[in-house]
Structure 1
Amino acid sequence: MTHKTPHIITEGGVQYHLGEFRNNEIQYDFEKMLIYLDAKGKLLFGEKFKIHREDRPILYRLCSYFIKDQKRCEKFGIDVDKGILLSGPVGCGKTSLMKLLRYIVPHQRPYEMVPCRNITFSFNHLGYKTIEEFGNTSFFCFDDLGVEPPGRFYGKDCNVMGEVLLSRYDLYLNTKRKIKTHATTNLNARELEERYGNRVRSRMRELFNLVAFDKQSKDKRV
């Protein structure tokens, strides 16, 4: 596979065509993308993985974002320069989808999935260099934002993820919007504001597109 054919992906000896190359651009096909995501999901997470019918609308939005379909994204109120904040109830599949979706765009710079609790644990052990490490120009998806334990280093409390997000917001402003930050969360907007404060919450609005599962989404882990 070359970057000239990023819509053709080979997994386990099978070639998946996510669309066609026409008029000097890739015309993606959502149904073909779902076939690939289902196959890749089974490779990553096991044979029990499946794309649930009720998740198709949210997947359509996310796929439109990742392939940078400007027209569809505008229709959904999504800014392709911002990251994704994927929210929803526990067990609805947020983490799996964010781990999976990066594979449909192999020509784009990948992001690393990092649990927020690991960042806080690192801070508690190493201190403020952890905030520098994650407030850099790498691409990250911060998993389970808002439920990480408190940060404390040498007797001083720190809202670690709040500081990381502020650092990444500054980078986002000063690098012509090239820095991508994604996150998953079980919390709603009010709960996030309670957790991080109004200043961080307002920065999050500029960093992220909010894409939300239905509050009634079932727990797929049971």
Structure 2
Amino acid sequence: MDNPSKIMEGGVEFSIGKFDGKSMNYDFPKILVYLNAKGKLLFGEKFKLYKEDRNILLKLCSYFIKDKTICKKFGIDVEKGLLLSGPVGCGKTTLMKLLRHLVPLQRPYEMIPCRNVTFSFNHLGYKTIEDYGNSRFYCFDDLGVEPPGRFYGKDCNVMGEVLLSRHDLFLQSKQKIKTHATTNLNAEELEERYGNRVRSRMRELFNLIAFDEGSGDKRR
């Protein structure tokens, strides 16, 4: 029987908690040790987790391991997806790429740059919106800064339409079809970009987890 408290990476076994055969008790400091090692394997030796991001990491890890006590404390609904927001370069994309490895038995999500969705729409039209309205799990990266959609002379707010499709899917599915996203924009900017209707659906679709506005650019 698989032991979910142990994860093998690069020939090294990491313990991320204790498993008694029925339930799993995660250990946050051990999770951070594992994520730091996994990050170096995925992104290179320069990767590191930052002390100032510890609160964000606690929220994100609690969501992925479905720690209902901590999630309740932070007002996080484990049935919804995540909208991770913060300034350029604060590490949103990196963390979303990393954290999908934390619970290997969970259904993985695919990272999709929003600009790729728009480029696909400009080439293929409305089939693109249908394609993303399926039951796969996605994390749409860099929401709100994608170029405008245009197909045969008609303008389309492509990601707005994709989010409406994903919202319909989320409401209809018994086992919630999850959608995640990262964005540099705040709530007002998102509403300006996508309109009030999409913004209200986003509240039902996502938990908002935000970096401090003063978070530095880690890519420098």
Give the TM interval when normalised to the shorter protein: over 0.9
Aligned to 1:150: 148
Which runs of structure 2 are paired with 1:73-152 in the superposition (5 Å)?
73-152=71-150
Aligned residue identity for 1:12: G
Identity in percent: 75
Task: Quote the Cα distance in structure 1 between the aligned partners of 2:129 and 2:7.
Answer: 36
2:170 counterpart of 1:172: yes
Q: What TM-score results when the alignment is normalised by the length of structure 1?
A: 0.97
2:44 counterpart of 1:33: no
Aligned to 1:59: 57
Aligned to 2:3: 5
Number of aligned residues: 220
Aligned to 1:206: 204
Q: CA RMSD in A?
A: 0.9
Tell me how far 1:23 sits from its aligned partner: 7.0
Aligned residue identity for 2:186: N
Task: Quote the Cα distance in structure 1 between the aligned partners of 2:59 and 2:21.
Answer: 24
**Runs of 5+ consecutive residues of structure 1 not aligned to the other structure:** none
**Runs of 5+ consecutive residues of structure 2 not aligned to the other structure:** none
**What secondary structure is seen at the aligned counterpart in 2 of 1:103?**
coil
Match of 1:216 among 199, 202, 214: 214
Aligned residue identity for 1:74: K
Q: What TM-score results when the alignment is normalised by the length of structure 2?
A: 0.98
Matched-pair contact (CA < 8 Å) for 1:172–1:207: yes
Task: Quote the Cα distance in structure 2 between the aligned partners of 1:7 and 1:135.
Answer: 34
Matched-pair contact (CA < 8 Å) for 1:84–1:183: yes
Tell me how far 1:5 sits from its aligned partner: 1.6
